[in-house]
Each structure stands twice: as structure tokens, then as C-alpha cells.
Amino acid sequence: MSNAEHEPTGAIECTVNGEAVSTHVPLRQSLVDFLRHGLGLTGTHVGCEHGVCGACNVVVDQRVVRGCLMLAVQVDGSNITTIDAEKSDEYITILQQQFFERAALQCGFCTPGMILQASELLRHTPAPTRAEIRETLSGNYCRCTGYHAIVDAVEASAKVISHLSSDIGRRGGS
Ligand code: FES
Ligand code: FES
């Protein structure tokens, strides 16, 4: 019998990308390992595993967190969004499209974390300056792109979202 079989577990109930989840998780399991190995949501990446690179970013109760630094048992009762929510989260969908159109990725390893971090910025700051975008993404490491195209993509996403919002306003939507 392996040590894992003796490991104490805790019950959690949460919502992940709009789906209710009710399960038991090992008490020492990180949130990112739970998402990737427990739920098969492998869009969230694991890089440094100690809170530095931002590859593991996910949104928990509307705040971006490092999935490698949070325990899975801590999300009991929480609402979680990952990059795998691309079809149900308009901000993530638009950012993905703009990253693609602006060639803001090469290997793509950093991209999920970048997009989740940028989505939080755009929800709270609809028209960020380039300096604000750079400041927001300063905790996300990219080894490939040199960052300029990433800033371009976030800036372009803000414009797309702004146009969509004014279209909805003109049509009298909420
Ligand atoms: S893997 Fe979590 S910050 Fe690097
Ligand atoms: S695209 Fe390769 S690490 Fe950012």
C-alpha cells in the first residue's frame, strides 16, 4: 500500500468553470495539482511551483491566485475559473483571440497564466495604459516573446471589450 493511500483527505464543494464539484482531496495537494490531476483541467500550467512565474494562475472568487501556493482544501465553497473556461468567459475568449492575432505567444507555456492575470486587469480597469498592463503582468514570466506582443494583445483586447460594451449599450442591453 502506498503512502498516498494513507494520506488524510478533506471534503470540498466548489464550482469550477461553472460546473459543481464535490469531492475529497489530499490535505497537502495544491490547487493546481487538483485541477490538473483531479479534474483533468490541464490548461493551467505548472512552472516554478513556488509562486514566482505565474504559469499556474487561476481565478478564485474573482481574484487571481497562484494555484501552486494554494491548497485544494482551501477552495471549499469557492468559485474557480481556469483557462479551460474559454468558451464560457468572454474576457478569456477575447484575450485568447488577440494573443493569437498579435502572435503574443511562442511555446505558449506562460500564456494561460498571462491571460488569467490580464482578464482580472480588464475586469477592473477597462482601458489600462501600457504601463498598467506591464505592471499587472510583471509577476508573469515569459521566456520567449520579449513581452511587447503580449502588451499589444492585452491593449487590443481592452479595445474589443470596449466596443462590445458600447454596442450592447446602444442596443439597450445590460
Ligand atoms: S508554478 Fe505557480 S507561480 Fe510558478
Ligand atoms: S510563450 Fe514561451 S514562455 Fe511565454
Domain with CATH 1.10.150.120 in the chain: 90-170
| Span of 19-28, 70-79, 81-90, 110-119 with lowest mean pLDDT | 81-90
Distance in Å, CA 139 to ligand 1 centroid = 10
CATH architecture of 90-170: Orthogonal Bundle (1.10)
Q: Probe ligand 1: pick from 33, 35, 49, 140, max atoms within 8 Å of CB?
A: 49
Task: Tell me if residue 77 falls in helix, strand or coil.
Answer: coil
Nearest atom in ligand 2 to the alpha carbon of residue 144 is 2
| In the predicted structure, residue 173 carries a pLDDT above the cut 60 | no
Domain with CATH 3.10.20.30 in the chain: 3-85
Residue range 3-85, CATH number: 3.10.20.30
pLDDT band at 166; cut points 50, 70, 90: confident
Contact 31, 78 (CB under 8 A): no
pTM score, whole prediction: 0.90
Contact 99, 133 (CB under 8 A): no
Contact 121, 132 (CB under 8 A): yes
